[in-house]
Structure 1
């Protein structure tokens, strides 16, 4: 027989552990902070275990509290997702994807028509995501650039994040070697200040510093490069379609690993849900196809560079 001890207390504890305070948990559950504190105290008494260390300005989980919360949060997430599915109209199949704006614009959206052909009954909803944005409660999955270590999430690699300078064919014709690059023409991305120094160091260029226009997103810098403003640091897979269409070219054969990868991220309970499974199967195949084309393109660039 299943034994559930004081479910309201369990909910109060999980919300407080996840949010870090009784006040935030109370706001989430529409009760007072004092009520949350009382329910957690009663839960601790019934369990015979201390879950929180009460400190002056914050709560700190004990070892038992951390273990309990790490198991409870996925259970409540799964329950929330299941409830949403049951409440949705039977004809509605929705997959919500958290993804950064440049990834959505430069890689995902141009390929969504193919997914719609394969799975016409699934509606994909795209919301702003990225490594700096918390994984949304309503997300089915997300796509993130990083090291793959996101607590509470499964992370499956999609792409290597390789760096390569890109520009218009006209500008590329003036660049015979990396030392021809000039700082004022090197377009920058504010949150990726390490990209140009990493590539230039690997290329053996020591007297060039990127001083070109700075943009908030890679997508803005790449569009500026397409418009002839300068040389942008391209990151795969953002540049795949622009290179294939000839809007941009890579004037040098050298590509440098950024030190991070792109991952499909999701909560473990999603693995058994059919719409997510369909999307996962599709994006894994699409990512593999992109990797094959990139490898062929790199081989072609290297061959042209040696001729």
Structure 2
């Protein structure tokens, strides 16, 4: 038998911790601050630990409170999403996709109109977790870079993730070959420090040390490249639309596999859900089509 605390107390504490106090939680839960305080106090008694340090005009989480809130927020988010999925089935199929912000903005969202035409009753809800967070049970599926996932999940390849230097057309015009790369112009992505060394090694430029601006996400780095700040190491499929439109060009022909494919990840039980089944068919087909097309995009700049 599960030994669970009061859900009302848990909701009150999590809202107070997230909003920075009882007043903010009270507004969210549509109760009085005194009611929130009372529920949290009862929860603390039930747990036998203090979750807040209370002082005049100040409320601060204890170490136990921080630990509890860090675990509760994603659990309650997943419960809310699961409830929405279940209760929304009468109005139409709902698919919740966990994906990184750059993939969502640069690939998935621009293609949702195609899905709407193919499955007009399907509602796609995007939550930007992806590589930044572990797979959530509240998701219908995730789109992630890599094929190593916790036991019990299905992982299906979508397309390869290739690394290709890209920059603005004006900058590419001044590059005759990889040997003319200025290390100060090599734009870096903070969470992928291995990308440039991988490509430079394949280009025979192992001694070159990237020293350009650092951005948190690929999308930010690519926007910096569009704006002429430097050369970004583009990750496919993020760059394919920009290459086709001419916003970015590939000054060198060398494309290097990142070593991990893009994959569709989901629980086996989701296969029986009509909404997810439609999404899965669509994205696997599109991934196969665009994966092949992406490798055929020619570089728009000089080829070494």
TM-score of the aligned structures, taking structure 1 as reference length = 0.70
Number of matched residues?
A: 235
SS, match of residue 164 in structure 1: strand
**Structure 1 residues 213 and 302: alpha-carbon distance in aligned structure 2, compared to 1, 3 A threshold:** closer
Rate the CA distance shift 1:286–1:33 in 2: closer, same or farther, 3 A: same
* Counterpart position of 2:104: 104
Asked if 2 retains the 8 angstrom alpha-carbon contact of 1:107 and 1:238, the reply is yes
RMSD: 2.6
Q: How far is the alpha carbon of 1:294 from its aligned partner?
A: 1.4
1:145 aligns with 2:182: no
Whether 1:264 and 2:264 are equivalent positions in the alignment is yes
Change (3 A) 1:118 1:174: same
The alpha-carbon deviation at position 85 of structure 1 amounts to: 5.3
Whole-angstrom CA distance in 2 between matches of 1:203 and 1:154: 36
In the TM superposition, what is the alpha-carbon distance from 1:184 to its structure 2 partner?
0.7
Counterpart position of 1:233: 233
Moved more, 84-93 or 201-210: 84-93
- Residue 189 (structure 1) aligns with: 189
Once structures 1 and 2 are overlaid, which stretch shifts more, 90-99 or 196-205?
90-99
Partners of 1:86 and 1:247 in 2: CA distance:
42
Q: What are the superposed Cα offsets for residues 165-204 of structure 1, whole Å, 9 maximum, x if unpaired?
A: 0001111111111111111100000000000011001100
Distance (Å, rounded) in 1 between the aligned partners of 2:89 and 2:133: 29
CA distance in structure 1 between the partners assigned to 2:256 and 2:300 by the alignment: 14
Task: Give the corresponding residue for 1:175.
Answer: 175
* Displacement of 1:233: 0.5
Question: CA 1:159/1:148 → structure 2, altered by over 3 Å: closer, same or farther?
Answer: farther
Shift of 1:93: 2.1
CA shift for structure 1 position 278: 0.1
* 1:150 shift after superposition: 3.1
Q: CA deviation at 1:33?
A: 6.4
Q: TM-score, normalised by structure 2?
A: 0.71
Aligned partners of 1:131 and 1:146 also within 8 Å: no
Report the CA distance between 1:254 and its aligned residue.
0.5
Q: Which position in structure 2 is the counterpart of 1:305?
A: 303
Provide closer, same or farther for how the CA distance between residues 112 and 89 of structure 1 changes in structure 2, counting only shifts above 3 A: closer
Return the offset for 1:120. 1.1
Kindly report structure 1 stretches of 4+ aligned residues shifted beyond 4 Å: 30-34, 83-86
Offset at residue 86 of structure 1 (A): 5.0
Q: Could you say which residue in structure 1 is the equivalent of 2:217?
A: 217
C-alpha distance in 1, partners of 2:47/2:228?
57
Could you say which residue in structure 2 is the equivalent of 1:88?
88
Q: Is the 8 A contact 1:148 1:263 kept in 2?
A: no
TM superposition shift of 1:153: 1.5
Structure 2: which 5+ residue stretches go unaligned?
A: 5-42, 49-77
